[in-house]
Amino acid sequence: MRKILLFIAALCATAGCSDRAIHDGKPGGADWPLFRGDASLSGYTDESLPKRPKLLWEFKTDVRTASSPVVLGGVAYWCDRRGMIRGVNIEGEQVFEYDLKTAVEATPMIYDSTLYVGRIDGIMSAVSLRRNDTIWNFETMGQISASPNLFKFNKRKAIIIGSYDNLLYCIDARTGEELSRFRSGYYINGAAAFWKGHVIYGGCDALVRMIDCKTGIQTDSLLLEAYIPASPAIMGDYCYIGDYSGNIYKIMLEDGKFVRHKKIAEASKDGGGSFVSVPAVSIDAFYYISDNRYLNSVSRKNGKVLWKYLLKGNAGESSPVICSDRVIVCTKTGTVSILETFNGKLLWEYDAGEPVTASPAVIGKHFFILTARGTLLCFGEQKKTREKDTGRGKTLSLSSGKHSAAGQNI
């Protein structure tokens, strides 16, 4: 029993734990190296979006993908459903290709020129981007749909990954050796987030769990009303997470405990509010999708709804990303929208012409959108006056919608 409970203890026996994984846990510059950008899965970056975004190029593969893109050194990487890993640079040129020869749905993670990705066959693979070769494979007993996260201290690095075998694994990033594991009550579909030396994750047993990285012991758990297919988002000492029914919770974190929690959004009465997206959190507000169609901005201070925007289609699994004073969100209809964080005003829209279920990746005044049909779109600053054409591959006119002072689409 003690062996099962010893989760990540080996990692932190000799040094204090750090939440700051890749690049101090903050995205920026030419990197967006893991799902949601940072180790806390906040979906927030200080990077600014282009003031006048323009499609710079598109890279088509015609192979379906469920992955979101990750970026290292200006190169966007993803893995399609057939197991092909591709890397495309900021100029739209493919510079990397590696075939895992098996189905993949999970978003990968990159650290130290190594790409880590979970596979449907239950194997976690570490692939060298320099040598174009597999470094190691780690086998679990269930499919891996979760994105990996990285914990770093001193010179040791460990991968945290959940599986459908009901286990959360801690794996040595260099060797692929299992360091420890923790058993949950059911499947783990979402990624684990880090907070002050603790791992926080939700499971399909409807429990949110917190594990102390120094002792490896679960310090607290919280039962929600429905199972949790998505990941938590953390900012400061608060965790924001949704269950599949569509309820959104705000949980206060203190001393390794869930000290208080509050349901801040109710599930839809018609049952249409299932939640698979991850909230995005800034210093002042958090943003989440409700009823599959509305992007909501809510004050973190008082829980007041600041504005609500009706999207042009079901958002599905795509999660919003906050970029300084703007928020970007995608839908299954292929609409990419940028709104002002202050009042929800629509600033820009683009029709990708293909469904989008992935989350955006943002780097240095560029952003990447990956469609479900395997097309990577790169947007940057538009130098000339933008056109007002509509249709496939065109920027949409911003005069087509009206907004109230609160940003409600009417």
Phi then psi dihedrals of residue 11, to 5 deg: -70, -35
Distance separating alpha carbons of residues 324 and 263, to the nearest angstrom: 27
Q: What is the pLDDT of residues 179-238, one digit of tens each?
A: 888 888 899 999 999 999 889 999 999 999 998 877 778 999 999 999 999 999 999 999
User: Looking at the domain assignment, is residue 410 inside a domain?
Assistant: no
Chain position carrying tokens 């420890």: 180
Distance separating alpha carbons of residues 143 and 118, to the nearest angstrom: 8
User: Looking at the domain assignment, is residue 135 inside a domain?
Assistant: yes
| Residue numbers of the domain that contains 328 | 2-400
| CATH classification at residue 108 | 2.130.10.10
Residue 167's closest CA among 355, 3, 395? 3
Q: Per the structure block, which two tokens stand in for 217?
A: 């012991």
179 close to 10: Cβ distance less than 8 angstroms: yes
* pLDDT for the residue 265: 82
Chain position carrying tokens 């050796």: 177
Count of domains in the chain? 1
Q: What is the pLDDT of residues 322-370, one digit of tens each?
A: 999 999 999 999 999 999 999 999 999 999 999 999 999 999 889 999 9
DSSP-based three-state secondary structure for 328: strand
User: Counting every residue, how long is the chain?
Assistant: 410
Phi then psi dihedrals of residue 23, to 5 deg: 50, 55
Q: Per the structure block, which two tokens stand in for 352?
A: 């990708």
* pLDDT for the residue 143: 97
User: Looking at the domain assignment, is residue 405 inside a domain?
Assistant: no
Distance separating alpha carbons of residues 251 and 274, to the nearest angstrom: 20
255 close to 60: Cβ distance less than 8 angstroms: no
Rg value, the chain, Cα: 20
User: Looking at the domain assignment, is residue 121 inside a domain?
Assistant: yes
Q: What is the pLDDT of residues 54-89, one digit of tens each?
A: 999 999 999 999 999 999 999 999 999 999 999 999
Percent of the chain as helix, strand, coil, to the nearest 5 = 5, 45, 55
Mean pLDDT over each residue of the chain, to the nearest integer: 85
Chain position carrying tokens 């012991």: 217
Sign of CA dihedral 133, 359, 30, 169: negative
Tell me: pLDDT of 50 over 50: yes
Number of C-beta neighbours around residue 287 at 10 A: 29
* pLDDT for the residue 270: 54
Distance separating alpha carbons of residues 166 and 280, to the nearest angstrom: 26
User: Looking at the domain assignment, is residue 259 inside a domain?
Assistant: yes
Beta-bridge mates of residue 241 = 249
User: Looking at the domain assignment, is residue 408 inside a domain?
Assistant: no
User: Looking at the domain assignment, is residue 100 inside a domain?
Assistant: yes
User: Looking at the domain assignment, is residue 229 inside a domain?
Assistant: yes
Task: Check residue 292 and report its DSSP letter.
Answer: T
